[in-house]
């Protein structure tokens, strides 16, 4: 099993370190945070200086996982370009197009496929993580022009070893998707919380499940949410415009006929589709040989809502919704 | 302990019947639904014809609890006016101003205070309910011009017996509040689910906690949500306009400077206020003597985010946030 070198040991990076190590892979980390370094060492993990960690990655031909915020990405990529420019490389940053762009520019010889585990908590830092964080979660692994099947497979294998399933996707399609299902939900939660609190203490004291669930992620560290959402501006604007249009139409309908049927039925239908996907209801299982020409097929499969659930030898097991 | 007669045995009415009975109060019910009647009888409860149930309420001087949808309210109130016009009366309908209006018009001699337990599930019907549904929940009990302290106390005592705490409130203030913390969250969940699904299967397959939580109540029966939200049109329009204004401002900020700090910070601050309220952090406990002149004090206390947690003899124990 290929060794894993994790740069950045916050919630996600720290959880990758634990999960990869738990899967039996040699693993070590590096972090600029003294608190995260101390917490990781307390848990028995090897934490090195970034330079030392990358030199060791070169010696052991390890997979390097970049787990720093988007704002610290360039600095880390420059270090990799200097110490180990041909590294097996992936990342866990929440946008993929900007990361792909920087990697191709700064470390063009890296054997890179981007990654994004769709898991988290409202807490942050190494101490908040766990080896189980990715269990059952989706983990996007990107396929672009320059992606090789070997680099994709390394990133996908890490996701599977961490207990996730892999969603193959283009970087831009990923960013459009997460604008709708992750970044817009954070904006909605913030706005809902504010409109509720504007109703005064009486309103908050009457708040129950619908408000608590709808505002839960407003409890997350707003600086981290800001970095994530502002880093996906163009795609998020599209999603916000869709939401504004729909909320405006709902307003018009309520003000005129008083009817909310269309809004509520459409939301109910959409939520049922999500639930069906979560149960794996109506999917077919098949295998894909991991040859270079498989990449475009894998990406198409991701577009259809499909996933890779296992990789053995040179075969990937896939599940794709029927119809 | 005063007996309880519940008219309507769906999720909420059925749970009131169970909880009141569990608290040791004589309790019986009536319902137009054969399925709910059968389910309640299977659980060992007495289910009568509505007329018979009301006649018995008169004989035993019971508290009558109206637990039918807003659309069936008038018919039930007319029956009460005919059979037991001076009843102790409360209800559990999700809007309060329209119910108060109908009660004063159709059963002016009823000893009435409106109620609204802030609890539910996405399922409906007697079988979905439980005696524990209201445990730890807020339960609004209304105070209007015509409300007497005795009628208010009867409705509040039922809420406490069901395991809830009581939030004293004017009917219109209640309706404004639930527009923000219950009805708007249902519209947001529906719109978020639709915008997510508009991203196609890839988007839904990447959806994780933030999207699942933000869309959870879109899984509720849309007909019931529709009755609830459309029944609170004026207050909901205000809440939707606030939300539209804030989403529009967020859009403008994202499109121009790219900044989301103000939106996210304000949401985070609001959510922290909700969490502080939930833990009961920073509240003072005191008692209020339940005399007629206490009603306006109780209503003020509700405006400040306060609650009644117990009634003994003629004293109510209250908790009010400090400052």
Domains of chain B, each with CATH number or no CATH:
4-169 (3.40.50.720), 175-259 (1.10.3660.10)
Using a 10 angstrom Cβ sphere, with 0-12 exposed, 13-18 middle and 19 or more buried, the burial of residue A77 is buried
Q: Are B156 and B181 in contact (CB under 8 A)?
A: no
Of A173, A195, A201, the CB nearest to B305: A201
Residue whose C-alpha is closest to residue A19's, from A187, A173, A132, A179: A132
Q: Are A234 and B265 in contact (CB under 8 A)?
A: no
Query: What integer pLDDT is reported at residue A323 of this predicted model?
Result: 65
Residue pointed to by tokens 């037991």: B84
Query: What integer pLDDT is reported at residue B70 of this predicted model?
Result: 87
Query: What integer pLDDT is reported at residue A147 of this predicted model?
Result: 97
B217 touches chain A (CB under 8 A): yes
Of B176, B189, B307, the CB nearest to A205: B307
What Å distances lie between residue B80 and B28, B72, B73, CA to CA?
16, 13, 11
A173 contacts B303? CB cut-off 8 A: no
Dump pLDDT digits (tens) for A181-195.
999 999 999 999 999
Residue whose C-alpha is closest to residue A107's, from A145, A128, A78: A78
- Among the ranges given (A13-27, A158-172, A265-279, B71-85), the one the predictor scored with the smallest mean pLDDT: A265-279
Chain A: closest CA distance from residue B292 (Å): 22
B282 touches chain A (CB under 8 A): no
Q: Is B119 helix (H, G, I), strand (E, B) or coil?
A: coil
A269 contacts B120? CB cut-off 8 A: no
> H-type helices in chain B, by residue range?
11-22, 34-42, 50-60, 73-83, 97-106, 149-161, 171-178, 184-197, 200-206, 209-215, 222-230, 233-256, 261-279, 294-303
pLDDT of A123 strictly over 90:
no
Confidence of residue A265 (pLDDT cuts 50, 70, 90): very high
Query: What integer pLDDT is reported at residue B286 of this predicted model?
Result: 93
Ramachandran angles phi, psi of B100, nearest 5°: -55, -45
Query: What integer pLDDT is reported at residue A255 of this predicted model?
Result: 97
Q: What is the mean pLDDT of chain A?
A: 96
Q: Are A288 and A315 in contact (CB under 8 A)?
A: yes
What Å distances lie between residue A192 and A184, B185, B224, B251, B306, CA to CA?
12, 7, 21, 15, 22
Chain B (99-158) residues lying within 8 Å, Cβ to Cβ, of chain A: 118-120, 137-138, 140
B322 touches chain A (CB under 8 A): no
Query: What integer pLDDT is reported at residue B322 of this predicted model?
Result: 83
A320 touches chain B (CB under 8 A): no
B218 contacts A268? CB cut-off 8 A: yes
Mean pLDDT of A258-267: 97
A237 contacts B251? CB cut-off 8 A: yes
Distance CA B14, CA B24 (A): 16
pLDDT of A322 strictly over 90:
no
Of B169, B207, B259, the CB nearest to A181: B207
Chain B (161-180) residues lying within 8 Å, Cβ to Cβ, of chain A: 167, 169, 173-174, 176-178, 180
A245 touches chain B (CB under 8 A): no
Chain B CB contacts of A220 under 8 Å are: 268
B207 contacts A176? CB cut-off 8 A: no
CB–CB contacts below 8 A, A to B: 371
pLDDT of A121 strictly over 80:
no
Confidence of residue A199 (pLDDT cuts 50, 70, 90): very high
Each residue's pLDDT tens digit in chain B (323 positions)? 999 999 999 999 999 999 999 999 999 999 999 999 999 999 999 999 999 999 999 999 999 999 998 889 999 999 999 999 999 999 999 999 999 999 999 999 999 999 999 998 778 899 999 999 999 999 999 999 999 999 999 999 999 999 999 999 999 999 999 999 999 999 999 999 999 999 999 999 999 999 999 999 999 999 989 988 999 999 999 999 999 999 999 999 999 999 999 999 999 999 999 998 877 778 899 999 999 999 999 999 999 999 999 999 899 999 998 86
Mean pLDDT of A278-302: 91
Query: What integer pLDDT is reported at residue A309 of this predicted model?
Result: 97
State the pairing for strand pair A307-312/A315-321.
Answer: antiparallel
Of B210, B259, B273, the CB nearest to A204: B273
Chain A: closest CA distance from residue B162 (Å): 16
How many Cβ atoms sit within 10 Å of the Cβ of residue B59? 10
Residues A206/A212/A213/A214 CA torsion (nearest 10 deg): 80
Name residue B307's beta-bridge partners. B319
**Element at A9 (helix H, strand E):** none
Chain B: closest CA distance from residue A89 (Å): 22
How many Cβ atoms sit within 10 Å of the Cβ of residue A10? 22
How many Cβ atoms sit within 10 Å of the Cβ of residue A108? 12
**Contacts (Cβ under 8 Å, ≥6 apart) of A95:** A70, A174, A175, A178, A228, A231, A232
């Amino acid at each position: 099993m290929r060794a894993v070198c994790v740069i950045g040991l916050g919630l996600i990076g720290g959880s990758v370190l634990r999960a990869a190590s738990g899967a039996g892979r040699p693993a070590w980390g590096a972090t600029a945070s003294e608190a995260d370094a101390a917490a990781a060492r307390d848990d028995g993990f090897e934490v090195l200086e970034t330079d030392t960690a990358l030199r060791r990655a070169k010696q052991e031909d390890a997979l390097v996982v970049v787990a720093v915020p988007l704002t610290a990405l360039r600095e880390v990529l420059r270090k990799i370009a200097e110490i180990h420019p041909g590294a097996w490389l992936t990342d866990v940053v929440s946008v993929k197009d900007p990361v792909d762009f920087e990697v191709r520019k700064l470390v063009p010889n890296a054997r890179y496929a981007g990654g994004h585990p769709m898991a988290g908590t409202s807490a942050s830092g190494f101490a908040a993580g766990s080896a189980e964080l990715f269990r059952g979660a989706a983990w996007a692994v990107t396929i672009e022009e320059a992606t090789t099947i070997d680099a994709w497979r390394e990133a996908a294998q890490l996701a599977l070893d961490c207990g996730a399933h892999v969603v193959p996707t283009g970087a831009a399609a990923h960013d459009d998707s997460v604008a709708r299902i992750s970044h817009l939900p954070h904006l909605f939660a913030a706005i809902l919380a504010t409109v509720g609190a504007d109703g005064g203490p009486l309103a908050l004291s009457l708040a129950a499940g619908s408000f608590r669930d709808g505002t839960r992620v407003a409890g997350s560290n707003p600086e981290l949410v800001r970095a994530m959402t502002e880093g996906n501006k163009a795609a998020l604007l599209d999603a916000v415009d869709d939401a504004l249009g729909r909320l405006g139409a709902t307003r018009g309908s309520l003000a005129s006929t008083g009817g909310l049927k269309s809004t509520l039925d459409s939301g109910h239908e959409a939520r049922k589709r999500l639930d069906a996907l979560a149960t794996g209801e109506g999917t077919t299982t098949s295998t894909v040989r991991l040859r270079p020409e498989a990449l475009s097929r894998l990406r198409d499969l991701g577009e259809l809502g499909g996933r890779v659930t296992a990789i053995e030898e040179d075969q990937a097991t896939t599940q794709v919704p029927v119809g």
